[in-house]
């Protein structure tokens, strides 16, 4: 069993551990997104034939996408295209 040390709480320990992490690592974690970048998704502002974001289940009107970050055109397209039934 751990011996309790007066004046040293778990919160103090965690705070000290976080303070020891490099700022760049913390900023990178905060900026991390679960979404793909446009280049990763091979996004284009034009349709791929008859397929476009406006016909994709992942499109979020008026200009968003559930899996690709940034402003998305309803006339765009990317390799994650998932057609509406």
Query: Which residues form the interface with ligand SF4 (CB under 6 A)?
Result: 41, 43, 53, 56, 58-59, 65, 67-68, 72, 76-78, 80-81
Range 70-76 contact pairs with CB under 8 angstroms and sequence separation of 24 or more: 70/37, 70/38, 72/43, 73/45, 75/45, 75/46, 75/47, 76/43, 76/44, 76/45, 76/46, 76/47, 76/52
Least separation, in Å, of the C-beta of 21 and ligand SF4? 33
The residue among 9 and 75 lying less far from ligand SF4, judged by its C-beta, is 75
Least separation, in Å, of the C-beta of 23 and ligand SF4? 32
The residue among 16 and 43 lying less far from ligand SF4, judged by its C-beta, is 43
The residue among 29 and 50 lying less far from ligand SF4, judged by its C-beta, is 50
Which of 84, 73, 68 minimizes the C-alpha distance to 46?
Answer: 73
């Amino acid at each position: 069993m751990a011996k309790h040390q007066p004046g040293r709480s778990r919160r103090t320990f965690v705070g000290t551990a976080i303070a020891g992490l490099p700022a760049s690592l913390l900023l990178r974690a905060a900026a991390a997104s679960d979404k793909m970048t446009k280049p990763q998704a091979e996004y284009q502002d034009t349709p791929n034939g008859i397929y476009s974001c406006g016909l994709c289940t992942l499109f979020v009107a008026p200009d968003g996408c559930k899996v690709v970050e940034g402003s998305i055109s309803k006339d765009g397209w990317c390799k994650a295209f998932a057609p509406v039934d």
